[in-house]
Structure 1
Amino acid sequence: MSIAALSPAPAPAVRPAVIRDDAQALDVARTFADAFTRDASLRDRDRLLPWDILPEYTASGLWGITVPREYGGPGVSTVTLAKTVATLASGDGSLAQIPQNHYYALEVLRIGGTAEQQAFFNGRVLAGERFGNALAEIGARDFKRRTRLVRDPAGWYVDGRKFYCTGAIFAHWIPTLTVAQEDGREVTYLVFVPRTAEGVTIVDDWDGFGQRVTGSGSVVFERVAVKPEWVVPFLASFERPTTIGPFAQILHAAIDLGIGWGAYREMLPFIRERSRPWIDAKVERAADDPLLLERLGDVWLRLTAAEALLERAGEAVDAAQGAPDEDSVARASVAVAEARVLTTTAGLLAANRLFELTGTSATFAQDNLDRYWRNVRTHTLHDPVRWKYHAVGNFYLNGKRPPRHGAL
């Protein structure tokens, strides 16, 4: 692992394709999932950041699929976006997570940005520029952010340090959560900071055992000058019903589901070709072991159920985007919470069964199959699924709407 400041991502060499519609987005995602699979083990084993595949990944047009039609993009549905992310994650969970906050920033922009800001930043995406993120901070238990947006007579500046900055290493812009003092109170903004701005330092210090090539390290801002037109209201968007929260969460659910499907598909040929049947099964092939078949069927059913809930949740988010109010946003949040429960449990089940049903030889380092478990276990820790159960139960029993924030 390199713990060092990184050079900026190179400017896009070619303008990406513009995907026409939802069907094409899914077709392109399937193609890239296959491409991701080929070197996923090597990238994970040696922690090779995916600089080689990023230009092609960006040129595919997948990074621009949520750009609204009025700004030149296809404006695909949330259902399609979730399916696209899950498809990519089935090939490589790390690569599927890299644009997660890119899509999230565009949703924040859609809801809270001015028409001029939306036109500018959506245009940058269609030109091939990528958004990372600098949202989270560590070192405090109160979740208060210390990164500041400072306004003084000399200009506007960002100061602070962030961690879990997935995609920032590969980004051209780093959407950054900041707080500013206004009339004696703190106001939160999302500031789109250029990666090349003086005072920005990205440190490749992510050393989690999973999602190893997401580039989720640190970003340091030292009096980084920013323009007012790069500043978008953030918490103000949660003062009214918006889809920012459920939109963010459905992307997490899609990643977990995709990793689970990847583990499931990995175990099938292994069982057919390499696994040995248990002696008490009295069969010649592991693929005919009746107890193994029962457990494999259980994995398939749970992943399929999670997939159905993910699609249902996407439909609820789409409905809330079209007509946001207290009830539609609450329904979307609960539907996504339901999907996150099943994608978490099904993804983890698939990764565990990958070893349970294949045997000891599946643990050989040369196969690196543990990357599925490491990836899904790491990513499902983003926020506690136990609170999803609480939100679902409280909604259906007590009629309590979930809180409006980015973690539900």
Structure 2
Amino acid sequence: MSLISKQVPVIQSDAEALSVARELAAHFKRESTVRDRERRLPFDELELFSHTGLWGITVPKAYGGAGVSNVTLAKVVSLISAADSSLGQIPQNHFYALEVLRVNGSETQKQRLYTEVLNGQRFGNALAELGTKTAHDRTTHLAKAEHGYRINGRKFYATGALYAQRIPTSVVDDHGVQHLAFVRSDSDGLNVIDDWSGFGQRTTGSGSVVFDNVFVASDDVIPFQSAFERPTPVGPLAQILHAAIDTGIARAAFEDALNFVRHKTRPWIDATTDIASEDPLTLKSFGQLSVRLHAAEALLERSGEFLDIAQTNTTASTVAAASIAVAEARAISTEVALSAASTLFELAGSQATLAEYGLDRHWRNARVHTLHDPVRWKYHAVGNYYLNSENPPLRGTI
């Protein structure tokens, strides 16, 4: 695939989005091992990615986009993640910011920012911070200034900021209220630092962003905290994207295990077969793994259906049901990603650990990405919902 022109096509339907994603995933897969091994930052790949129109697929139809279903969105992210999970993760907060814009932005803000996205602009993120009391506390400050605001603070885990034209940033005003500022990446005083050293998801660029008296126009600041003070689909939308990434990692590890065992693995001496793929215990392990992977993919699709309902008819009950459905998908996608990435070596054998194959990247990527929020609390929320009819918290971590 190549960029023939700077004109970004506007994808028109769910079917078109999936078709484009499948073609792009096949292209991304070819050098995914090399990008991981060399930590080759995917600037060119992201230019191609955003110029396919896929970054605009959640823009509502009323604003010129395809407004695809969350079933489709999750499948697109899963397809790209199966090819290269770093590339699958980079647009996660882009889609998250677009959902915050959808539920909390003004009409003028929607018209302007949606148009930017349809023209190929990428949004990153500067949300999380290190050194705070909890992972959800924020200290980056938004101060009133002439014609807008000034931002001071430091962020980390800023996935996508390194590659973005705008960096949606969580900030706290003088009253302790959180807002989301869509900061231009070329703003004076803004410094994006490539200091991400995680052993997985190595090319996401999830490092630091420093704000030194950075100006942001008033029209680029959107209410944020209020999205979690009333029922909105913002939280489950964020979480379904994480589930899609992990499901993609699991699919990639599973398919690489199949390929390796078919073509390279030698049977164990007690298997009484000359072909590794006929080893009865290997068959049993692949059977167990495939059932869990297909269950994860089915729960991911199901959670997208619940989220579609919550976006169309937003109530406390529909948002809670969507949050629980997504939590179920998150729980199983976490477990199957880790299991598939580890079982790969058990079934493929010692040869699979050789560096030239790069198969360790699946486990490293799964282990790093699934630490985003603990799966044990997913099970707690699901159990409390069904046993005690207790709705989950209105935030982005369930």
State the TM-score, normalized to the length of structure 2.
0.97
Question: 2:120 matched to 1:128?
Answer: yes
**Conserved? CA contact 1:145–1:178, under 8 Å:** yes
* Counterpart position of 1:22: 14
Matched to 2:109, the amino acid is Q
| Partner residue in 2 for 1:90 | 82
* Secondary structure of 1:54's aligned partner: helix
Instruction: Report the Cα distance in structure 1 between the residues aligned to 2:116 and 2:7, rounded to whole angstroms.
Output: 10
Q: Deviation at 1:154? A: 7.1
Q: Give the superposed CA RMSD.
A: 1.1
Given the alignment, which residue of 175, 178, 188 partners 2:168? 175
Q: Secondary structure at the match of 1:334?
A: helix
Runs of 4+ in 1 over 3 A off after TM superposition: 152-155
Structure 2 Cα separation of the partners of residues 155 and 323 of structure 1: 34
For residues 89-120 of structure 1, give each alpha carbon's deviation from its aligned partner in whole angstroms, at most 9, with x where no partner exists.
11000001010000000000000000110010
Asked if the contact 2:147/2:218 (under 8 Å) is kept, the reply is no
CA distance in 2, matches of 1:54, 1:321: 28
Deviation readout 1:206-255 (Å, 9 max, x if unpaired): 00000000010100010011111000000112221100000000000000
Q: Which runs of 5+ in 2 are unaligned?
A: none
Shift of 1:152: 3.6
1:5 aligned residue: none
Write the distance in 1 (CA, Å) between the matches of 2:90 and 2:117. 15
CA offset at residue 15 of structure 1?
Answer: 2.6
User: Which AA in structure 2 matches 1:176?
Assistant: T
Is the aligned partner of 1:335 residue 2:325? yes
| 1:165 matches 2:155 | no
Shift of 1:378: 0.6
Once the two structures are superposed, the pairs formed by residues 177-326 of structure 1 within 5 Å of their partners are 177-181=170-174, 185-326=175-316
For residues 221 and 146 of structure 2, what CA distance do their matches in structure 1 show?
A: 17
- The answer for the alignment partner of 2:100 in structure 1 is 108
Residue 129 of structure 2 aligns with which residue? 137
Q: Which amino acid aligns with 1:138?
A: L
Query: Is residue 160–residue 206 contact of structure 2 (8 Å, CA) maintained in 1?
Result: yes
Q: What is the one-letter code of the residue matched to 1:164?
A: Y
Which residue is 2:37 aligned to? 45
Provide the TM-score with structure 1 as the length reference. Answer: 0.95
Distance of 1:241 and 1:52 partners within structure 2: 39
After superposition, the Cα gap between the structure-2 partners of 1:326 and 1:291, relative to the gap in structure 1 and judged at 3 Å, is same
- Partners of 1:162 and 1:171 lie apart in 2 by 15
Separation in 1, partners of 2:117, 2:288 = 41
Deviating more after overlay: 72-81 vs 136-145: 136-145
CA shift, 1:13, in A, is: 7.0
The match for 1:151 is: 144
Identity of aligned residues (%): 54
Equivalent residue number for residue 342 of structure 2: 352
Structure 2 counterpart of 1:340, which letter? R
